[in-house]
C-alpha cells in the first residue's frame, strides 16, 4: 500500500527523522507511538502531502485515496453534525441531494445517527472525534490517517472509538493510528512503529505484544537506548 524510503526531516537545527524506512501493508491497522515531539504528526502531514520539505521518498499505490482526522478537528460550530459532513461533501463537488444521503450514511457508520441534527457546538469530545473519523471517511478512502482519535476521551468514548476502528478494519481499510494510549493500540493495532528519537526506532507487530505489553516494550527500548547513550 505505502512504503517510506530513507526519509530524513529537520526542523531548523533539530533532526526529526534520519533515513527512516517504513512499510504499510493494506488492510491492516498500524500504530505510530512515541513521546511528544517524536514526529508522528509530522509524518502524517508528509504522507498527506502537506509537508514536502524532506529528503527521501513516500511511495504509495496508484490512485490511493486518503482520509485524515486531525487530533482536534475544526468543525463549523453553527452546523449540525450531518450538515458538517454535507458541507465537506459539497466542497468536494458532490451535489446537495447526494451529500445529504451520503452524510446520513456516514453518521450511521460512526454511530452518530441519533445526534445527526444536534449542533456540533453541543457535541461531546468523543462525538467530535467520531465526527472527525466520519469526515475522514468521505470519499471512501483506502488509507485512513487518524491522529490521536482517542485523546481526551473517557473510558466509554475510548471503547466506542476502538469498536469503530475495528469496524473500519473489517471493511478492509488500512489505518495508520497516532496514539499515546498504549492499551488502546494493543486492542486495535496489527503492527506499528515506536519512535523514541531520530536514532531510536523499532518496528513491532501484534505477535510481539501478545507476550510483552507495549508499555514494557517501550520501557525496555528506552532503557536500552539510554545504556547505549542514544536516549
Partner 1 sequence: MKAFIKLHLKEYVGGKSFILFGILGGLVTLILFTAGEVSFANNPTEEVISQFGSQWKFLSIMAGFAAVVVSMGTIEKHRREKRAELLMLHRLGLERQMLGLAIGNALVSMLLSAVLAVVLIFVVIFAGAPTSFIGFIAAFLSYLLTAGMLALMVSVLNVFLPSVVVAVLGVLLVIVGSFHQTIQGMLLNNGQLMGRILAKVMNILPPLDVFNRLTRSLFFLEFRGGQDLIIFLVYLWLTLTIVFLTAKRAGRHEKI
Q: List residues near partner 1 by CB under 8 A.
A: 48, 50, 52, 66-68, 70, 73-74, 76, 78-79, 87-88, 90-93, 135, 138-139
Choose between 93 and 229: whose C-beta lies nearer to partner 1: 93
* Distance in angstroms (rounded) separating the CA atoms of residues 143 and 154: 26
Choose between 123 and 201: whose C-beta lies nearer to partner 1: 123
Choose between 66 and 112: whose C-beta lies nearer to partner 1: 66
158: left (phi over 0), alpha (psi -120 to 50) or beta: alpha
In whole angstroms, the minimum distance from the beta carbon of 206 to partner 1 comes to: 29
Classify 71 as helix, strand or coil: coil
Choose between 90 and 208: whose C-beta lies nearer to partner 1: 90
* Distance in angstroms (rounded) separating the CA atoms of residues 120 and 103: 14
In whole angstroms, the minimum distance from the beta carbon of 82 to partner 1 comes to: 14
In whole angstroms, the minimum distance from the beta carbon of 45 to partner 1 comes to: 8
In whole angstroms, the minimum distance from the beta carbon of 189 to partner 1 comes to: 23
In whole angstroms, the minimum distance from the beta carbon of 91 to partner 1 comes to: 5
Asked if 194 and 204 touch (Cβ cutoff 8 Å), the reply is: yes
In whole angstroms, the minimum distance from the beta carbon of 89 to partner 1 comes to: 8
Choose between 67 and 126: whose C-beta lies nearer to partner 1: 67
Q: What is the dihedral of CA 56, 222, 145, 148, to 10 degrees?
A: -140
* Distance in angstroms (rounded) separating the CA atoms of residues 77 and 114: 18
Question: Measuring CA to CA, which residue among 43, 25, 22, 32 is closest to residue 188?
Answer: 32
Question: Measuring CA to CA, which residue among 171, 133, 180 is closest to residue 152?
Answer: 180
Choose between 71 and 208: whose C-beta lies nearer to partner 1: 71
CA end-to-end span of the chain: 32
Amino acid at each position: 500500500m505505502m512504503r517510506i524510503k530513507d526519509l530524513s526531516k529537520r526542523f531548523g537545527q533539530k533532526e526529526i527523522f534520519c533515513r527512516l524506512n517504513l512499510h504499510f501493508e493494506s488492510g491492516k491497522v498500524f500504530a505510530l507511538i512515541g513521546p511528544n515531539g517524536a514526529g508522528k504528526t509530522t509524518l502524517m502531514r508528509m504522507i498527506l502531502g502537506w509537508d514536502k520539505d524532506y529528503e527521501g521518498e513516500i511511495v504509495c499505490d496508484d490512485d490511493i485515496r486518503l482520509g485524515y482526522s486531525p487530533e482536534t478537528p475544526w468543525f463549523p460550530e453553527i452546523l449540525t453534525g450531518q450538515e458538517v459532513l454535507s458541507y465537506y461533501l459539497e466542497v468536494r463537488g458532490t451535489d446537495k441531494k447526494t451529500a445529504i444521503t451520503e452524510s446520513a450514511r456516514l453518521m450511521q457508520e460512526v454511530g452518530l445517527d441519533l445526534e445527526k441534527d444536534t449542533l456540533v457546538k453541543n457535541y461531546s469530545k468523543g462525538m467530535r472525534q467520531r465526527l472527525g473519523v466520519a469526515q475522514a471517511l468521505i470519499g471512501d478512502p483506502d488509507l485512513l490517517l487518524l491522529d490521536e482519535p482517542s485523546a481526551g476521551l473517557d473510558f466509554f468514548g475510548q471503547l466506542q472509538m476502538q469498536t469503530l476502528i475495528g469496524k473500519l478494519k473489517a471493511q478492509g481499510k488500512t489505518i495508520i493510528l497516532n496514539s499515546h494510549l498504549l492499551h488502546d493500540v494493543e486492542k486495535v493495532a496489527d503492527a506499528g512503529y515506536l519512535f523514541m528519537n531520530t536514532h531510536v526506532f523499532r518496528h513491532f507487530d501484534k505477535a510481539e505484544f501478545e507476550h510483552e505489553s507495549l508499555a514494557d516494550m517501550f520501557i525496555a527500548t528506552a532503557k536500552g537506548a539510554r545504556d547505549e547513550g542514544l536516549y
